[in-house]
Amino acid sequence: MKTILIIDDQKDDLTSMSQIITREGYIVITANDGTEALEKLGKNQVDLIIMDIMMPTISGYDLLRILNEKIHNKIPVIFVSIKPEKEVDITNVDGFVQKPFAPIHLIDQVGKAIEKYN
């Protein structure tokens, strides 16, 4: 069973994504910001990270940079943002979901990202 870390400072979005992903049979770990995410990554093995871009303290872009520098085996990342995809740098990520999103779109991006690394 795959474990997914979801990072979002918006509680409603975090809860919604967590419920959608859990219903698909994945184990879900949540974090409210980048600092908490780094702590949880130190304690848990995860197969995929879904993260908001605009967060306080550590943005999604900064967290992605930290992950790429500190974690040697690549963990697939999906960005989630209210910003349109054309305004987001998705060069080093494995998927993008724009808020508000349809659950099927989130599930589709998760499936593609996990499949890519198996």
Q: How far apart are CA 18 and CA 39, in angstroms?
A: 19
Q: How far apart are CA 1 and CA 68, in angstroms?
A: 24
Q: How far apart are CA 52 and CA 30, in angstroms?
A: 12
Are 55 and 82 in contact by the 8 Å Cβ rule? The answer is no
Q: How far apart are CA 48 and CA 35, in angstroms?
A: 17
How confident is the model over 61-74, as a mean pLDDT?
85
- pLDDT tens, 3-57? 999 999 999 999 999 999 999 999 999 999 999 999 999 999 999 999 999 998 8
CA 93 to chain centre: 10
User: What is the pLDDT at residue 109?
Assistant: 97
pTM across the whole model:
0.94
What does each C-alpha distance from 17 to 31, 55, 70 come to in angstroms?
12, 16, 26
For 3-116, CATH number out of 3.40.50.2300, 3.40.50.620, 1.25.50.10, 3.90.700.10 equals 3.40.50.2300
Instruction: Give residue 72's pLDDT band: very low, low, confident or very high (50, 70, 90).
Output: low
Encoded amino acid at 110, one letter: V
DSSP code of 85? G
Q: How far apart are CA 88 and CA 47, in angstroms?
A: 23
Domain coordinates in residue numbering, the chain = 3-116
